[in-house]
Amino acid sequence: MLAIDLKGKRALVAGVADDAGFGFAIAKALAEADASIVLGTWPPAMNIFETLLRRGKIDESRKLSDGRMLEFEKIYPLDAAFDTMADVPEEIRNNKRYTERGDFSVQGMADSIRKDFGDKAIDVVVHSLANGPEVKKPLLETSRSGYLAAVSVSAYSLVSLLQRLGPLMRPGSSAISLTYMASERVVPGYGGGMSSAKAALESDTRLLAYEAGRKLGIRVNTISAGPLASRAASAIGLIEKMVAYYKEHSPLAQELAAEEVGNVAAFLCSPLASGITGATVYVDKGYHSMGIPALPG
């Protein structure tokens, strides 16, 4: 039997703060394949997430197919906008949702992982985070700072993660991120520089695959996912319409399930995908291949 077996492997999933998004679904699929999971969670969302976990509010979603529960070895605070604590502005450093968390920079998380698990601690890095403060604004009305913030958190953060976690990754490791087709086609409403950030993320995936492949033997891929009503996507405002539109016009006329993205992520991070790197893999029920909307009937 050809199976995805990640026993003995550890995955860091950055960008999980509830059970509704792609990061959670990917963590769950990796755990189904027997990987152990550590998370990187945005400090402002951490209290709510810890409360959900403590009160058992997401126990149902944490159930794995063999009866085990999805467990997290550690949940690290991570604000992917900051490479080191020296980059953190005063008002964030003094914000009460951050002060109690210690070092929440990318470097801080890498240092904590090394301290907790040793020098070669990680086999899988999942980048499942994005933020564009002006995402609701058309690009034509987006400020320079809004645009740069979107690219910083949503694209450069992958570079930063690999720079700092690469040395901790075992040979044969891989990284994946989540992108969206607005990088290459016009999706009205996906503004604020978020489309630019996704274009950068996809381009960086290719160059990082080359550089990290040669230097560290690591594979780097990105999944271009169809719409999902996650917390982040709901903030954009259009998500219900997008989900319905994709369902109506995709080759597979169904809603995309987060689990389908999780399964592809588990495959891409497994030895079964040892020949795939630098790729943008569409998991969108085929929507990306359409030229005009589906014809009625």
Ligand X SMILES: NC(=O)c1ccc[n+]([C@@H]2O[C@H](COP(=O)([O-])OP(=O)(O)OC[C@H]3O[C@@H](n4cnc5c(N)ncnc54)[C@H](O)[C@@H]3O)[C@@H](O)[C@H]2O)c1
- Look up 190 and say whether it is catalytic: yes
- Tokens 């070669």 correspond to what residue? 120
User: CB of residue 208 vs ligand X: minimum separation in angstroms?
Assistant: 16
C-beta of 34 vs 236, nearer to ligand X: 236
Residue 17 found at the interface with ligand X (CB under 6 A): yes
One of 147, 180, 246, 287 is an active-site residue; which one?
Answer: 180
In order of 16, 130, 161, 194, 199, the CA distances from 232 in angstroms are 11, 8, 21, 12, 19
Q: Which stretch binds ligand X (CB under 6 A): 59-67, 88-96, 222-230, 266-274?
A: 222-230
Site for ligand X in 83-142 (CB under 6 A): 128-131
Is residue 78 a contact point for ligand X (CB under 6 A)?
A: yes
Instruction: For the CB of residue 141, give the shortest distance to ligand X in the complex, in Å.
Output: 21
Asked if 264 interacts with ligand X (CB under 6 A), we say no
Q: How far is CA 208 from the centre of its chain?
A: 16
Quick one: which of 126, 225, 268, 269 contacts ligand X (CB under 6 A)?
A: 225
How many CB atoms lie under 10 A from the CB of residue 259? 14
Nearer to ligand X, 155 or 273 (CB): 155
Residue 233 sits in the site that holds ligand X (CB under 6 A): yes
**289: Cα separation from own chain's centroid:** 23
Question: Any contact of residue 42 with ligand X (CB under 6 A)?
Answer: yes
178 binds ligand X (CB under 6 A): yes
Q: What is the smallest separation between the CB atom of 244 and ligand X, expressed in angstroms?
A: 13
Using CB under 6 A as the binding rule, whether residue 227 contacts ligand X is answered as: yes
Nearer residue to ligand X within complex by CB, 5 or 87: 87
| Active site annotation includes 282 | no
* Contact between residue 39 and residue 72 where contact means Cβ atoms under 8 Å apart: yes
> Which residues would be at the binding site for ligand X (CB under 6 A)?
15-17, 20-23, 42, 45, 78-81, 128-131, 153, 178-180, 225, 227-228, 230-233
Catalytic residue list: 180, 190
